[in-house]
Amino acid sequence: MSEGSIRDAQLRRELGVPPSFDLLGHLRDLARVALPAFLIAAVGAALVFVVRDSGPGVYESRVVAEIRSTSPMYGGDANLGQLTAPYVALSSDSEVVALIGEAMGEGWDAATVEGHIEVSPGPSPTLLIVNATADSQAEADELTGIVVTSLDRVQSGRNRAAVDASVAGLDTTIADRRAELASLDPESPAYAALQGEIDARIDEQRQLRASFGSTQLQLLASPNSSGEKVSPKPAAEAMVAFLALFLAAAEALVALSGRRGTTNSPEWARRLSRRYRTALQIEHTDALGLPLDTTVMVNQRASLSESILILAGAGVQSDPRSFTGAAADRITRAALTDRWWQSVPTDELALAVVVVAAAESERAAVEDAVRALAEIEVPTRLVLLAAGPRGSLFGALGSLRAPGSLRSSGARRATDTSVAPTPVPTPTPTPVPTPTPAEPAARNVPASPVAPAAPGWAESRPPSTPASVEQVWRTSRPPETWRAPAPYGQQIPMPYPGQGNGHPTQQDRAELGAQIVHDDPRGPGTPPDSWGR
């Protein structure tokens, strides 16, 4: 790998090229559109609630029935369900379903009945729970009673048929044994054994007849119903609709904000950077100029004898004085609409910076420039100057601002940060000789600090180089009162205006030097005249 490729790869890592799928960035995009998505979801959930609540509902009724039987019960696990199991099985039997539908009347066919009843075992082996649903509460209560009655009737009929069949079988057995008994000798042992078997069959037959009708299904209480709809549930359905609409609306808004429209926006910039694998910097400021970190990076890269291209969008101001003299020769500044590829050798480009302002309608030009730079494999940083502070509502909705408002704000900021004008020096008045007083009044006059240099791009003396005595002496007061300040704790008589023709005397230099010598980084003892002007 060549040195240039290694440097470009390092630059891409330094610039922070976004990944192909940025989960955190996508979550930030969703947070920016949370408010409009919330409003859309709230309206949709309200409509769902109104529609579902105004339509027909389903009501439920529940009863508990008891199985009463004279048959003995055993506590084993295999016998706990011997009473409820037949009724649970009968609830889906075609004969029972048809009987229930016939009792309910028109509109209740077999399929409808099966979908509106449910029979389940209760908390006790002798309890049965019956649930029924209908379009009205009264109809649901009626259905539960019919279900219990139908189950009891069908089960009783089947029990009667089973008892009758068993009794008939025992009658046949008893008749056969009696015919066999008539052919035996009453004194023989076989006669006594056969007679005992006949007696046992007769006792069994008697028990079967006695057990008929001993098992019944009876209601314990009236139907338990609340009178409220069990379906649909408007509140729950509205909440589910709200969550679904909120997520769908947020995703749709994020997708549309980066794909639709012509103005620059943070979502569009993120999508563009992911598509062409370029670095992205979103600067939330009103100043339409290169950010400080980008300016420092460009200067540093240009100082390494690398060619830099800066493409500025509409309203972006690029101050050439931001770059050092040696680096400025290697930096090419152009507008997005210019033919920048003709003014700079593209094969020598080491870095390209595209600076655009939010709310400007220049998506097509920016995409063309970024695509062209990506095709020739030039490391690119896209800088979007978005209005408003980071994370605020105005920053999230910066694309809705008018282009003129952002431009005017940036113009004001640029005016405020421009180079300060050089102050107009006060003209020196013509000295007028005046008689020397016998004893001038004495007073303490402290030394004034050195006046700061005017802000801007003008060169200034390095802070390590001290000012000369005469410079400090001249800038401390107006020319008409020039004089040397007194050392600490001493007094110097006020000279006449214009004394010394505006220049300090040797005595003034000595006295002033003694006062400011402690500011000299070279330490005390250095003559003030050797500090330089």
The candidate with the shortest Cα–Cα distance to 436, out of 501, 494, 506, 503, is 494
**What integer pLDDT is reported at residue 457 of this predicted model?**
33
pLDDT digits (tens, 9 = 90+) for 181-199: 888 888 888 888 888 888 8
519/81: higher pLDDT: 81
How open is the CA angle 103-107-112, to the nearest 5 degrees? 85
**What integer pLDDT is reported at residue 174 of this predicted model?**
87
pLDDT digits (tens, 9 = 90+) for 263-309: 888 888 888 888 888 888 888 877 788 888 888 888 888 888 788 88
Q: Tokens in use for 148?
A: 């219990």
Neighbouring residues of 196: CB distance < 8 A, sequence distance ≥ 6: none
**What integer pLDDT is reported at residue 79 of this predicted model?**
58
Q: Of 17-26, 190-199, 310-319, 429-438, where does mean pLDDT reach its minimum? A: 429-438
Q: Tokens in use for 493?
A: 């008589």
The 10 Å Cβ neighbour count of residue 175 is 12
Burial pattern 64-99, b for ≥16 Cβ within 10 A else e, equals bbebeeeeeeeeeeeeeeebbebbeebbeeeebbeb
408/511: higher pLDDT: 511
pLDDT more than 70, % of the chain: 65
Q: Of 225-229, 253-257, 396-400, where does mean pLDDT reach its minimum? A: 396-400
In this prediction, residues 506-532 reach a mean pLDDT of: 48
Interatomic CA distance for residues 33 and 251, integer angstroms: 9
In this prediction, residues 44-66 reach a mean pLDDT of: 90
Q: Of 321-325, 375-379, 390-394, where does mean pLDDT reach its minimum? A: 390-394
Torsions phi, psi of 383, nearest 5? Answer: -110, 120
pLDDT digits (tens, 9 = 90+) for 426-456: 444 454 444 444 444 444 444 444 444 434 3
295/525: higher pLDDT: 295
pLDDT at residue 34 greater than cutoff 90: yes
* Residues forming CATH 3.30.70.1130 domain(s) in the chain: 59-72+80-219
Interatomic CA distance for residues 124 and 135, integer angstroms: 31
By three-state DSSP, how is residue 45 classified?
helix
**What integer pLDDT is reported at residue 45 of this predicted model?**
95
pLDDT tier at 243, thresholds 50, 70, 90: very high
Neighbouring residues of 382: CB distance < 8 A, sequence distance ≥ 6: 269, 272, 273, 278, 279, 280, 281, 354, 356, 366, 370
292/487: higher pLDDT: 292
Torsions phi, psi of 229, nearest 5? Answer: -70, 140
Task: Judge: domain 59-72+80-219, CATH 3.40.50.300.
Answer: no
Interatomic CA distance for residues 410 and 396, integer angstroms: 18
Helices 23-32 and 266-276: crossing angle in degrees, nearest 10, is 160
pLDDT digits (tens, 9 = 90+) for 327-344: 788 888 888 888 888 888
Mean pLDDT of all residues in the chain?
72
257/333: higher pLDDT: 333
Q: Of 5-19, 159-173, 447-461, 514-528, where does mean pLDDT reach its minimum? A: 447-461
The candidate with the shortest Cα–Cα distance to 478, out of 502, 458, 500, 455, is 502
In this prediction, residues 12-28 reach a mean pLDDT of: 65
132/326: higher pLDDT: 132
pLDDT at residue 33 greater than cutoff 50: yes
pLDDT tier at 248, thresholds 50, 70, 90: very high
**What integer pLDDT is reported at residue 509 of this predicted model?**
53
pLDDT at residue 377 greater than cutoff 90: no
DSSP alpha helix (H) spans, 260-324: 266-276, 292-302
According to the per-residue pLDDT averaged within each range, which of 41-45, 279-283, 508-512 is highest? 41-45
**What integer pLDDT is reported at residue 76 of this predicted model?**
55
**What integer pLDDT is reported at residue 419 of this predicted model?**
35
Residue 67, beta-bridge partner list = 217
**What integer pLDDT is reported at residue 267 of this predicted model?**
80
The candidate with the shortest Cα–Cα distance to 481, out of 468, 467, 494, is 494
**What integer pLDDT is reported at residue 75 of this predicted model?**
54
Local structure of residue 192 (DSSP, 8 states): H
pLDDT digits (tens, 9 = 90+) for 380-425: 899 998 765 544 443 444 444 433 333 333 333 333 333 333 444 4
431/239: higher pLDDT: 239
**What integer pLDDT is reported at residue 41 of this predicted model?**
96
The 10 Å Cβ neighbour count of residue 110 is 12
**What integer pLDDT is reported at residue 8 of this predicted model?**
52
pLDDT digits (tens, 9 = 90+) for 98-142: 889 888 888 888 888 888 999 998 888 888 999 999 988 888 999
Question: Cis omega (within 30 of 0) on the bond before 232?
Answer: yes
**What integer pLDDT is reported at residue 265 of this predicted model?**
81
